[in-house]
Structure formats: structure tokens, C-alpha cells
Amino acid sequence: MRLDSRELDLCARFIDEDFHTNVIPNLMPIEMQCLTATCKSCRSSVVAFAIASGGAQSWMQGSYSAELEAVAVEMCQLASKSSWFSPTGDTLALLIATSPGEDLLDHALDMFDTMPNWVSRPNRDLRTNPSILETSRFHSLSGVSGQEFDHLVEKRINRALSSNWGSAYVDIDAGYDYAVMDRLQDLMKHLKALWALAKCCKGSKNALRMEEKLVGFQKHSLRANELWVVYLLATCSGDHIESSHKLGLALMSYRETRLEG
């Protein structure tokens, strides 16, 4: 039995609707990205679903962001344990996730508190009075706060994470820990897949907005002068940044200047 053109069209429509309703909503962001890369005819369906479902916003509200943060903490801990790390002056990088009402800076510092005890960090007293900065010897604001997420922000976060996490799997003798490298690459793939969903909603009410902060902490003692600078660059799930879920970059740079005598 052969189907005529009208019946074939109905079958194709049913398959397309079933695919859009029952398949795509059950895919992870990285699976959606793979689907669009391997099936040209599926791209429009994935983009349509991303727009209708809020793009990256819905994934930032669940466990997806928390899982990315957990792996990022592992990478940061490994970097701080590497032979490349200098306790008297270095930069550590994290990917942090917060819920509405949670302070981004406080959460970042709490995550840096999970690093080994040789990693210097500002104490609780210093944290109550951070210096608001626009530029520093380590980092500078780029002026993206309130703007939509775009490829320039993506490149900046990618570059910062890659450059600061390389020491997590490469030792000073150029030896590689391939298991750690694979885990890092997997993290970056899942992060880029989330950003791909965000790009589908560019210019819409579901577009991600940016929050950027730069703060400093100083401590002077008879032993040394210490300086910490924390840079934050986060994607926010809505126009109201204070009540948004956030996922972003946190960099903490430290320098210690020993006093002579």
C-alpha cells in the first residue's frame, strides 16, 4: 500500500510534532547542540523550542548550573595544588552559580574558601568593607553590566577559565593528566551548549543579561602588605538582576609584598 502526497504530508507533520513535543524537551543542552550539528532539518525545531521554553534561563534555575559549579570547584582546587601555583601571588578562577537574592560576591568568596589552606583569601572582617574598583593591576571592568550576553562575553569567560585551569592537568615537566583534561573539556562543552541556547533568545524577553563587578581588599601588617582583587562576570536569567539566577566567572588575584627589615 502506497501513501499519496497528502497522507505523506500528514505523517511527516505528525512525526515533526511528536519530535518537537516528546523528544526535544527531554534532551540536555549538549544533546540539542549535537542534534543541530548533525541534522540540518532539526535546527529550526531546536531553535523554536529554545525560544518557547526560555532558552538558557530554565536550565540556570535547576541543577545544571550547580553541577557546572561543582566541577569548576574541582578544577580550581587542582590548579591550586599544582606546581605552577604561587601562594604569594597568583590568580584562581571559578564558575559560580547563585539563586535569586544570593549575593554574588559572598558566594564567590565562600567557594574560594573551599580551596586548600595555603591559598590566601580575605578574612571575614575585610569582607565587610570591599573597595569598589573600575580597574586594577589584574583586571578591569569592560562595561557590560545590564547588556545582553554576547559572543564577546563568551570569549572573555572562555579565555579566563582556560588560561587559569591549564595547570590543573599540565605539570611543570609538561606531563598531562588526561583524565582531568577530559573532565575539563566536558565541562566547557556543557557550558558552551548552555550559551548556545542563550544565543537563540538574543533580543527577546528571555535574553540573558550581564552583571560585572570588581572589588579589592587590602591588609597591611608588620609582615607584609596583602592585596586581593575579585572580578565577577555573570550571566543573569532576567532583566531584574537582583532576583535572577546567575552563572558566571569569578577570578581572585592575590599579591603579597614582603616588608624589608
DSSP state of 56: T
Residues 6 or more apart in contact with residue 122 via CB below 8 angstroms: 109, 217, 219, 228
Residue 122 in any domain: the answer is yes
What lies within 8 Å, CB to CB, of 176 at 6+ separation is 169, 170
- At 4 the pLDDT is 45
Same domain, 174 and 222: yes
Would you say residue 136 lies in a domain? yes
CA dist 84 and 81 (Å) reads: 8
Q: What is residue 171's predicted lDDT score, i.e. its pLDDT?
A: 81
Residue ranges of the chain whose pLDDT lies below 70: 1-22, 259-261
Q: Is 73 found in the same domain as 49?
A: no
- What contacts 76, CB < 8 A, 6 or more positions away? 92, 93, 94, 111, 112, 115, 165, 168
Q: Cα separation of 83 and 70, whole Å?
A: 23
What is the per-residue pLDDT for 27? 83
Check if the beta carbon of residue 249 is closer than 8 Å to that of residue 228: no
Q: Work out how many domains the chain is built from and give that number.
A: 2
Decide if 58 is inside a domain: no
Say what the pLDDT of residue 261 is. 52
Same domain? 127 vs 186: yes
Same domain, 229 and 101: yes
Q: Clarify whether residues 148 and 99 are in a common domain.
A: yes
Clarify whether residues 221 and 183 are in a common domain: yes
Domain that holds residue 32: 1-53
pLDDT tens by residue, 179-229 = 999 999 999 999 999 999 999 888 888 899 999 999 999 998 877 899 999
What is the predicted pLDDT for the residue at 136? 92
pTM of the model: 0.88
